[in-house]
Amino acid sequence: MRLYKRQWYIPYLFIAPFVLSFLIFFVVPTVYSFALSFAKYPGYGVVKWIGTKNYYNILHYSRFWDALGRTMFYWIAKFIPVTVISFMIAVCLKSSLLGRISKVYKPILFMPQVCAVTASALIFGLIFANQGGVINSLTGTTFAWTESATWSKWVVLLMMGWRGVGWFMVVYLSGLTSINPEIYEAARIDGANAAQSLFHITVPLMKQTFLFAFIMDAISSLRMYTEAAVLTGNAGGNASAVAEGLLNLLMTNLNSGNFGMACAYGWIIFVIVCVVSMAIFVSMKEKEDA
C-alpha cells in the first residue's frame, strides 16, 4: 500500500505527452487566435488592439453575407440528393441483390473520398475547362463552366456531391448493419413487402444516423475551401468570388497578412458551426419527442 502511494504519479506520466501536446498545439493557439481577433496584426511589429472592429467590419461586409449564403447553398443543395443516392446505394449493397459483387463496388464508390481534394479539383477543372475541357470537347462548344459567375458554383457543388456519396454510403451502411435482422423477419411474416419495410422500419430506425450525417455535412460544408479555390482560382475575380465560401474569405485575409481579421473570420465560422449543429440536434430531438 505504501509503495502504491509513492507511485501515484505514474499514470499521469503516461498521459503527460498527450496533455502537453494538447496544451501546446491546441489550447494555446486557440486562446492566442481569440485574442488576436480583437487586434490588427500583419505578422510582424507591434500588435494594435482595436476591440471588436474586426467583427464589426465582417458583419457589415456584403461579401461575407454572400459567402455565407453560398455556403448554406452548398450544404442544403448537396445534402438532399447525396443523401438519397448514397442511402439507396447502401440499401442495395446491404441487400442480397448484388451478392458478393458488392465487395467490389464498395471500394470503388468510396474511392473519391480517399483521393486528395486538390487532385479531385484539378481533374474536375480539366473536365469543365473552357479551352480543351472534356465536356466542351465532346459537345463541340466553348461554354465557360468554371469561368462563369453563374455556373462555377454548380461545378463546385457537383464535385462536393461526387466526393460525398462514398462517405455517406459508409455511414448509412454502418447504420443499416446496426438494425436487428429479426425485425425485418417479423415484418415479412406479417406480410410487409420491401418498400413497406424500407419506409416503415429502415428509415425510422436510421433517424440517429441521418442526424449524424446531417451535422457532419453541415460542418464540412461550412469548412469548404479547396474546391472553390482550385476550381475557380484561374477564373478571375468574378467567378471566384461567386463560388467562394466562408473559409475562402479567411484564407484571403490570411494570405494578405490580415491575421486579426482572419482570426475573427475563424471564430465567426466556429460560432456558426456550433449554432447550426445545436439547431439541428434540438429540432430533431423535438420531433422525436413529439
Gap between the Cα atoms of 273 and 290, Å rounded: 26
The C-alpha cell 442495395 sits at 92
Give the lowest-confidence range in 56-60, 100-104, 180-184.
Answer: 100-104
pLDDT in tens, 206-217: 888 888 888 888
The residue ranking higher by pLDDT, 27 or 277, is 27
Distance, CA of 210 to chain centre: 15
| Residues 120, 206 contacting (CB under 8 angstroms) | no
Mean pLDDT of 78-105: 81
Gap between the Cα atoms of 210 and 98, Å rounded: 24
Residue 263 has pLDDT above 70, yes or no: yes
The residue ranking higher by pLDDT, 32 or 100, is 32
Region of 48 on the Ramachandran plot (φ > 0 left; ψ -120 to 50 alpha; else beta):
beta
| Residues 221, 69 contacting (CB under 8 angstroms) | no
pTM for this entry: 0.76
Complete domains list, the chain, with CATH: 55-289 (1.10.3720.10)
Residue 21 has pLDDT above 90, yes or no: yes
pLDDT in tens, 154-210: 888 888 889 888 889 989 988 888 888 888 888 888 887 878 888 888 888 888 888
pLDDT in tens, 236-245: 544 455 677 7
- Name the average pLDDT for the chain: 82
| Residues 157, 217 contacting (CB under 8 angstroms) | no
| Residues 228, 187 contacting (CB under 8 angstroms) | no
